[in-house]
């Protein structure tokens, strides 16, 4: 079967190989899923670089998010049959044609959701829902809360802007440049770092940060009201938040939110409830994401180059079947 493989850490464009891999039969409690489409996310590429080498065993197949069809069912599997459309989660491995996954880590996709959106129903929607829940746990109600978001021009940024507005919060998009402004429309407050919008002069009750690094430290130090919260859910800068910034603000709450940690502790019932909300958000348009392109897995190099293009406007998908 068509597959990818990472044997050593490094530049994703250099170390992710296209390989012909064996297709084993599903074992007890497993299903075999033929992947229809898989997404490319920063969370797929960061482990390839070696950033999480302490918890990433080589070799491995990348890809955390996608959708596919159950083709074979192993012994003792209940609730799934050949032909079911599912989202498999719980580990990497989706950048290949066929995937074995324990049935308990697969979730049925409702009819009426196209594959392209179903392939993006996991990482960003569930992260957005968890972030909104974390804010509710801190404040009780989000009504009238000023919430700033870094990297707000991303797919998840757009989701968060809409989701928090529905919850009664007042979201502000923080962008590096004007290029991303058009993705967010004219209904939200937008601050652009390179336009003199006063990014550091603004005050928020909470900041949701996908970047880390020095900008996060500056926001903690200057832009959060006492009693507020700073939640880091990504590290796109590749740098940690300065510890001095965190210790210098004992009057605010600093927390990390890593989706992987929650997923592996939440239990099946909570995950099913989260996916029901994700699928409902896809059907309503709340969680839909723009798609820049879909590539066959055989053109992985082109897909990775497009993913790295700063002009990219939307998600990149892979089709492992071709």
Can you give the pLDDT at residue 238? 86
> What is the rounded CA–CA span in Å between residue 105 and residue 101?
7
User: Domain 129-260, CATH 3.40.50.720 — does that match?
Assistant: yes
With a CB cutoff of 8 Å and minimum separation 6, the contacts of 32 are 25, 26, 70, 71, 72, 73, 74, 98, 99, 100
| Closest residue by Cα to residue 12 from 43, 54, 55 | 43
Give the C-alpha separation, 103 to 87, whole Å.
11
Closest CA to 65 of 311, 281, 275: 275
- pLDDT for 182: 59
pLDDT in tens, 52-89: 888 899 999 999 999 999 999 999 999 999 999 999 99
CATH 3.90.180.10 residue ranges of the chain are 2-120+289-319
Q: What is the CA radius of gyration of the chain?
A: 20
Model confidence pLDDT, tens digit, residues 162-178: 999 999 999 999 987 66
| Cβ 275 vs Cβ 89: under 8 Å | no
**Residues 284, 286, 288: CA angle, nearest 5 degrees:** 95
44-51: average pLDDT: 93
Tell me the C-alpha to C-alpha distance, in Å, between residue 261 and each of 147, 195, 204, 265: 24, 37, 27, 7
**Residue 286 predicted with pLDDT over 90:** yes
Phi first, then psi: give them for residue 286, nearest 5 degrees: -60, -40
Closest CA to 175 of 183, 167, 187: 183
For 107-131, the pLDDT digits (tens) are 999 999 999 999 999 999 999 999 9
CA 162 → CA 114, 166, 272, distances in Å?
21, 6, 22
- Give pLDDT, residue 54: 84
Asked if the 2-120+289-319 domain carries CATH number 1.10.260.40, the reply is no
Supply the pLDDT for residue 198.
54
The mean pLDDT of 198-215, rounded to a whole number, is 87
Range with lowest mean pLDDT among 30-34, 182-186, 199-203, 286-290: 182-186
Confidence of residue 274 (pLDDT cuts 50, 70, 90): very high
Task: Indicate where the chain has its CATH 3.40.50.720 domain(s).
Answer: 129-260
pLDDT 10s digits, 288-299: 999 999 999 999
Provide the 8-state DSSP code for 60.
Answer: B
Task: Supply 74's token pair.
Answer: 């192993």
Residues 274/142, Cβ–Cβ less than 8 Å:
no
155, 220 in Cβ contact below 8 A? Answer: no
Mean pLDDT calculated for residue range 237-265: 96
pLDDT surpasses 80 at 13:
yes
Q: Could you tell me the two tokens for 142?
A: 């989000």
194 pLDDT higher than 60: no
CA–CA separation, 257 and 105 (whole Å): 21
Whether residue 196 is predicted with pLDDT greater than 60 in this model: the reply is no
- Tell me, what's the pLDDT at 148? 96
Of the pLDDT bands very low, low, confident and very high (cuts 50, 70, 90), residue 270 is very high
Q: How confident is the model at residue 31 (pLDDT cuts 50, 70, 90)?
A: very high
Residue with more model confidence, 194 or 43? 43
Q: Which residues pair with 17 in a beta bridge?
A: 5
Output the pLDDT for position 55. 86
- In percent, the amount of the chain with pLDDT more than 90 equals 87
Residue pair 190/184 in contact (Cβ under 8 Å)? The answer is yes
pLDDT of 181 above 90: no
Residue 197: per-residue pLDDT: 52
Mean of pLDDT over the chain: 93
With contact defined as beta carbons under 8 Å apart, do 191 and 207 qualify?
no
């Amino acid at each position: 079967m068509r597959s990818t493989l990472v044997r050593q850490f490094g530049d994703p464009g250099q170390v992710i190989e296209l390989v012909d891999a064996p297709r084993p039969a599903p074992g007890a409690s497993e299903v075999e899923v033929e992947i229809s489409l898989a997404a490319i996310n920063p969370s797929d590429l960061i482990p390839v670089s070696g950033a999480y080498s302490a918890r990433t065993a080589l070799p491995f197949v990348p890809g955390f998010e996608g959708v596919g069809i159950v083709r074979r069912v192993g012994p003792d599997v209940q609730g799934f049959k050949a032909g079911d459309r599912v989202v498999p989660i719980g580990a990497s491995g989706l950048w290949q044609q066929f995937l074995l996954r324990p049935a308990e880590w697969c979730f049925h996709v409702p009819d009426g959701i196209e594959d392209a959106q179903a392939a993006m129903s996991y990482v960003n929607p569930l992260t957005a829902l968890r972030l909104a829940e974390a804010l509710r746990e801190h404040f009780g109600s989000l009504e009238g809360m000023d919430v700033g978001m870094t990297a707000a021009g991303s797919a998840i940024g757009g989701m968060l802007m809409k989701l928090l507005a529905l919850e009664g919060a007042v979201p502000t998009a923080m962008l590096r440049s004007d290029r991303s402004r058009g993705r967010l429309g004219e209904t939200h407050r937008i601050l652009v770092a390179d336009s003199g919008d006063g990014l550091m002069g603004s005050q928020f009750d909470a900041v949701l940060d996908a970047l880390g690094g020095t900008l996060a430290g500056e926001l903690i130090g200057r832009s959060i009201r006492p009693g507020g919260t700073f939640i880091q859910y990504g590290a796109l800068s590749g740098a940690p938040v300065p510890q001095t910034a965190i210790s210098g603000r004992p009057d605010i709450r600093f927390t990390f939110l890593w989706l992987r940690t929650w997923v592996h502790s939440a239990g099946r019932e909570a995950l099913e409830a989260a996916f029901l909300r994700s699928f409902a958000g896809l059907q309503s348009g709340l969680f839909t994401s723009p798609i820049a392109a879909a590539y066959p897995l055989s053109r992985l190099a082109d897909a990775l180059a497009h993913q790295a293009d700063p002009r990219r406007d939307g998600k990149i998908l892979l089709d492992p079947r071709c």
